[in-house]
Amino acid sequence: MLIDTGATIAYKCSSCGAFKFFSISLFKLLYKNENILSCHCGKSNIMITKSKAKEYKIAIPCIGCGSMHVFRLDIKDILYKNDINVLNCPESGMKLCFIGGDEEVRGKVDSFENELDKLIDMFGYDSYFKNTQVMFDALNKIHDIAEQGNLQCQCGNSDIDLLLLSDKILLKCRNCDSNRIVYAASNGELKDSLPGNQLILPDGGKRKSQV
Under the rule (CB under 5 A), what is the footprint of Zn ion? 13, 15-16, 39, 41, 62, 64-65, 89, 91, 153, 155, 157, 173, 175-176, 178, 204
Residue 124 or 188 with smaller CB distance to Zn ion: 188
- Least separation, in Å, of the C-beta of 27 and Zn ion? 26
For 22-29, the CB contacts below 8 A with 24+ separation are 23/102, 24/48, 26/79, 29/56, 29/75, 29/78
**Among residues 1, 47, 56, 3, which one has the least CA distance to residue 26?**
3
- Least separation, in Å, of the C-beta of 7 and Zn ion? 20
Residue 13 or 171 with smaller CB distance to Zn ion: 13
CB 29 within 8 A of CB 56: yes
- Least separation, in Å, of the C-beta of 155 and Zn ion? 3
What is the distance between the alpha carbons of residues 142 and 188, in angstroms, rounded to a whole number?
Answer: 16
What is the distance between the alpha carbons of residues 8 and 80, in angstroms, rounded to a whole number?
Answer: 11
* Strand partners of residue 163: 170
- Least separation, in Å, of the C-beta of 111 and Zn ion? 21
Residue 75 or 193 with smaller CB distance to Zn ion: 193
Residue 101 or 132 with smaller CB distance to Zn ion: 132
**Among residues 4, 3, 8, which one has the least CA distance to residue 110?**
8
- Least separation, in Å, of the C-beta of 80 and Zn ion? 25
Residue 91 or 144 with smaller CB distance to Zn ion: 91
